[in-house]
Amino acid sequence: MARFTEYEKKLRPYLQAMPDIFRYVIVTKGILFAMMFLFGGMAKALLSSVGRVAVTSGDWKFLYTTWQGILLLLLSLASLYICVALDLNGKIALSSMLVKGEDVSIKECLNTGFTSLVKLLSPIGLLVILYISFIAPVLGLGFSTSLTEGLYIPTFITAFIQESKLYSSLMGIIVPVLLFIGIANLYILHGIVLDGHSTIASGKQSRRLMRGNYKNYLKQNVLFFLTVAALIALMAVVFFIIPLALIQLIPMPHACSRFLVVLFITAGAILYLFVDLFVIPFYLMKMTGIYYAYKEESTVVQYVSGKNKERRNKALAVLGAAAMMAAVIAQFVCFDSWYPASTNVGIIAHRAGGAEAPENTLAGLEKAHKEGASGCEIDIQRTKDGFYVLNHDNTFERTAGDKRKSEEMNLSDVKALSVDGSPVPEFEEMLTASKGRLMLFTELKGSTADKKMADDAVRLIHKHNMEDECVLISLKYDLINYIETKYPDIQTGFLTFVSFGNAAGLNCDYLGLEVESATAYKVDSIHKEGKKVLVWTVNEKSIQRHFLSSEVDGIITDNIRQAVSVKEKLESRSDFARMFDRVRIILASTM
């Protein structure tokens, strides 16, 4: 009992701080929304002045070769500074007030957050901003801005690094060094915001504090995140595992069980959002209290909540409960339309047959069709004598043991090669084999991917009357824009890793997104522009389930048989699984 009382005493300041944290978050989200609206309008005007709607990974050189691009970069940098002021500096000021038991002033927090930016207007300050915005979220350090908190390294880059011993070794050195730099300088912003130090002086202080207390810091971090993990696990047990077990074990009318499913999942999702909302502010409270302790200042985490605040909090709790019940009723009434049992997501075999047959071959296409795929993705390149053959890499070395490129070989040379016993086919052969059976997503690949390739590919599609059965895709937006403009009857798809601006407005029929960037929000925005969404490369079973339960139009995968099996099982899901899968996708987009 004494131990429980001790834990309750430690947790009470954080629980009592929630209303002030919530108010701060609401105010700053409003400011950030207004800022993004303003900056978004300016960015849209800049892009429109050069006939663009977005900048993507396929045309990023625009950013440093034109004055409009440079101005976009400066706008983005200004956005990062403002986000640091609101998401970190202001929250640090708020944390200081909370741990000292002072009356919280949102206005004062905001003022401190913005005025402290002056200290960061220097080369070292810029490095701090860039580290917080781009390196910290990738390393998972916990401190980042709302603009970049979902930043990730594209899968194709991580795969490339893993395949190279040199790059893997370099990453094995670089990542620990960057982690060390981040932890050693953890309290730079605290020194700037709370003590008014310069960036250099604050960095020196942070390194001194961490050098003398790193063991305690690691212990406190482990305890904090274990507590968060335990809380999430408890929520999973209370709102998902136990209700599911009870619904399955206790006989009850279907309508009743469905209502309970909606009630528990909705409540669990709301609590999960609250955990996500408060975990970083709580972490900053914890780190701020530790900061004062490391400086040997007698500050204890405390908080005093007045009676007026308690009445207001109870009123907010009642309103929140009423809103939740309204949401539960709406979901119950619209359950079948909001959480459909079936899925229309297409399964597209990567490189013709995925991992289940020789890549980019007729044998692969046949295997994909046999296993139940709805389409195949292939790669074409041009030979020296003007024919189009299938190959993914720059050369045939990996697949056929020949170090030559397609453009260095005649068709007869390519035909002499084999990929695991299967000949290298021509594009036209793949068109003939897929007609009436599979949708063919044809990537214009390599150095020969130019307007001539586009014209020739369109000619062959017209020849076989496959305008509705073939989609030309590419990483080169200029090429896709050319095809879409000149040949509007041909379906096109643009593959992008990163985009800035209204990517949904790009001139194409499909947008291909990597797994990490295919959020529910982005998919919805693309659909609103009348375009379709492909996600690549979706190989893991859990990720296949995720996207086959989503609103995307197709997944490109190496594991066709597995994906087909996952899709079949999805169609026999319980109400609980149907709603849980969909809500999980939505929550993943908000994290």
Residue 152 sits in the same domain as residue 256: yes
The tokens describing 135, both together, are: 């390196």
Residue 328 sits in the same domain as residue 351: no
Omega before residue 537 within 30° of 0, cis: yes
Residue 93 sits in the same domain as residue 238: yes
> Locate tokens 């001194």: which residue?
208
The tokens describing 60, both together, are: 């990023």
How buried is residue 319: exposed, middle or buried, by Cβ count under 10 Å (0-12/13-18/19+)?
exposed
Distance, CA of 304 to CA of 19 (rounded, Å): 12
Residue 164 sits in the same domain as residue 258: yes
Beta carbons of 516 and 154 less than 8 angstroms apart: yes
Asked whether residue 508 is domain-assigned, the answer is yes
Residue 306 sits in the same domain as residue 332: yes
Q: How many domains does the chain have?
A: 2
Residue 235 sits in the same domain as residue 351: no
Q: SS3 for 197?
A: coil
Beta carbons of 495 and 475 less than 8 angstroms apart: yes
Asked whether residue 581 is domain-assigned, the answer is no
Q: SS3 for 493?
A: strand
The tokens describing 504, both together, are: 């949904």
Asked whether residue 370 is domain-assigned, the answer is yes
Asked whether residue 586 is domain-assigned, the answer is no
Domain end call among 336, 371, 394:
336
Predicted local confidence at residue 304, as pLDDT: 47
> Locate tokens 């409540």: which residue?
267
Residue 354 sits in the same domain as residue 327: no
Predicted local confidence at residue 305, as pLDDT: 46
Domain end call among 279, 302, 336:
336
How buried is residue 76: exposed, middle or buried, by Cβ count under 10 Å (0-12/13-18/19+)?
middle
Three-class SS of 10-40? HHHHHHHHHHHHHHHHHHHHHHHHHHHHHHH
- DSSP label of 425: P
Three-class SS of 53-119? CEEECCCCCHHHHCHHHHHHHHHHHHHHHHHHHHHHHHHHHHHHHHHCCCCCCHHHHHHHHHHHHHH
Asked whether residue 102 is domain-assigned, the answer is yes
Residue 355 sits in the same domain as residue 485: yes
Cite the DSSP H helix spans in 359-434: 362-371, 397-400, 411-415, 427-434
Beta carbons of 377 and 371 less than 8 angstroms apart: no
Asked whether residue 568 is domain-assigned, the answer is yes
Predicted local confidence at residue 303, as pLDDT: 46
Predicted local confidence at residue 496, as pLDDT: 86
Predicted local confidence at residue 475, as pLDDT: 92
Distance, CA of 521 to CA of 558 (rounded, Å): 26
Distance, CA of 355 to CA of 376 (rounded, Å): 12
Distance, CA of 491 to CA of 478 (rounded, Å): 15
Q: Could you read off the pLDDT tens digit of each residue along the chain, which spans 591 residues?
A: 445 455 566 677 787 888 899 899 999 999 999 988 898 889 888 888 888 888 877 777 888 888 998 999 999 999 999 999 999 999 999 999 998 888 889 999 999 999 999 999 999 999 999 999 989 888 877 667 787 777 777 666 777 677 778 888 888 899 999 999 999 999 999 999 999 999 999 999 999 999 989 899 889 888 888 888 888 888 788 877 888 788 878 888 999 999 988 998 898 888 888 888 888 899 999 999 999 999 876 554 554 444 455 666 677 778 878 888 999 999 999 999 999 988 899 999 999 999 999 999 999 999 999 999 999 999 999 999 999 999 999 999 999 999 999 999 999 999 999 999 999 999 999 999 999 999 999 999 999 999 999 999 999 999 999 999 999 999 999 999 999 999 999 999 999 877 777 888 899 999 999 888 888 889 999 999 999 999 989 999 999 999 999 999 999 999 999 999 999 999 888 898 899 888 888 887 665
Count CB neighbours of 539 within 10 A. 19
> Locate tokens 């953890």: which residue?
186
- At residue 375's C-alpha, the angle toward residues 374 and 378, to 5°, is 165
The tokens describing 67, both together, are: 């004055």
Asked whether residue 439 is domain-assigned, the answer is yes
User: Domain of 549: which CATH number?
Assistant: 3.20.20.190
Residue 328 sits in the same domain as residue 366: no
Beta carbons of 484 and 507 less than 8 angstroms apart: yes
Asked whether residue 584 is domain-assigned, the answer is no
Residue 298 sits in the same domain as residue 420: no
Distance, CA of 496 to CA of 530 (rounded, Å): 18
Predicted local confidence at residue 63, as pLDDT: 84
Residue 156 sits in the same domain as residue 285: yes
Domain extent at residue 536 = 346-572
Helix (H) / strand (E) containing 285: helix 254-294
Predicted local confidence at residue 271, as pLDDT: 82
Among 5, 24, 3, 43, which Cα is nearest to 112's?
Answer: 24
Residue 170 sits in the same domain as residue 318: yes
Count CB neighbours of 452 within 10 A. 11
